[in-house]
Amino acid sequence: MSPETAFQIINLGVLPFWLLLLFAPRWKWTQKIVQSVLIVAALGLIHFLTVLKADFPEGTSGMSLRAAMLMFDEPWGMVACWAHYLAFDLFVGAWLVRDAIRRNIPHLAVVPCLVLTNMLGPTGFLAYLILRAVLRRTLTFQEEAPSGRVPAPQQHLGDRVTA
């Protein structure tokens, strides 16, 4: 597979999940698919594999603008970086929807923030934080239940259930 093909596949591959967040945020399948770790984990795996496949030129190991520019010049390196962006943007978009539902923020008000998050990542996140601060007067990331209490931990995979 070429880097161009991989880029197109992952780029188009996340669109259905963004569409679910935009148009059906409360649908049970949106909750089961997009709000699970599977999609972001798959993008993380793609990122890892493309980093392994990349043939980074000498000079890309440093923390400099020049090193980053060299990394983006390598096609598989660019695909790896793009998978990184897609994974984090989708993770943030899914969090925005969960947070908005939890805080009863109207979904139509969240839609522009989701579009911005998909296109410009941190700009959409900032837009949502401003929206949330204006509508709900909160500047915290603490996830509280409607009663104001921190929710009890949920059961995790592998935990035993006792009656």
pLDDT at position 163: 44
The number of CA neighbours under 13 Å toward the Cβ of 100 is 27
- DSSP reduced 3-state for 94: helix
Token pair, residue 104, equals: 């009863």
Question: How much is the pTM?
Answer: 0.79
The pLDDT averaged over each successive group of 10 residues in the chain (163 residues) is 92 95 94 87 88 76 77 87 93 95 95 97 96 85 60 51 47
Domain ranges of the chain: 3-136
Dist CA 118 CA 125 (whole Å): 10
- DSSP reduced 3-state for 84: helix
Token pair, residue 98, equals: 């969960």
| 8 A C-beta contact, residue 124 and residue 113 | yes
Angle formed by the axes of helices 65-73 and 75-102, nearest 10°: 100
The position carrying tokens 């995979």 is 157
Token pair, residue 6, equals: 């991989």
Residue 43 to residues 67, 84, 91, 145, Cα–Cα distance (Å) = 24, 7, 10, 30
Which has the closest alpha carbon to 110: 120, 122, 95?
A: 95
